[in-house]
Amino acid sequence: MNRVLSALLLTAVSLSIFAGQSAQAAGPKLRAFTNETARFDALMPAGVTNETIPGKNLVDTEYRSTAHVSGAKFQVRVRVLIPIEIDDKDLLDQYGESMVEQAEEQYIKAFGQPSSSKRMTQNGSKGKDFTFRISGSRTRDGKDLVIRRRILFDGQRLYQVIAEGAPSVMDSRQTNDFMDSVGPML
């Protein structure tokens, strides 16, 4: 009887480890990536395309690095909001906070209330992380969709870190690693 219980326990542990490995494998393989024009580093899937969307001036110009893999999108958008260094930390914090609030308002208008949101600091940049879970009844293809957005401000640049796709990919360790890796070029 003890052997049967031990075998059942071992089988249950093996299955949970296998299931965990399968869940981990759902995300894309990541590699180190640097966009020297936008001056950021990140872990991104292979096949990144860079795009510059010119504005009337430097502040209006947006830099995008995007990779599509497994039906998911991984993207970093960067805008240089303050092209000079400003020493007034309080002023920069207030400005950064207003940028995060504006982004949050835009996200809620586009996707509804987030299923989660939290303030955070990443690589010295303050910001906020949002997750939106969209039911298949609200999507064109009828499949559930997870939209993850993170907005960060480092005192000069505004970073939007974006991951969108199936829950199995968006809830993976690899997607978390992508989201956590974005920061100013070192």
Closest by CA position to 157, among listed 49, 50, 68, 62 = 62
84-129 confidence digits (pLDDT tens): 677 888 888 898 899 899 999 999 999 999 999 999 999 989 999 9
Q: Give the domain ranges of the chain.
A: 28-184
Q: Return the biggest CA–CA distance within the chain.
A: 77
134-162 confidence digits (pLDDT tens): 999 988 899 999 999 999 998 888 999 99
Domain 28-184 bears CATH identifier 1.10.30.50:
no
pTM of the model: 0.81
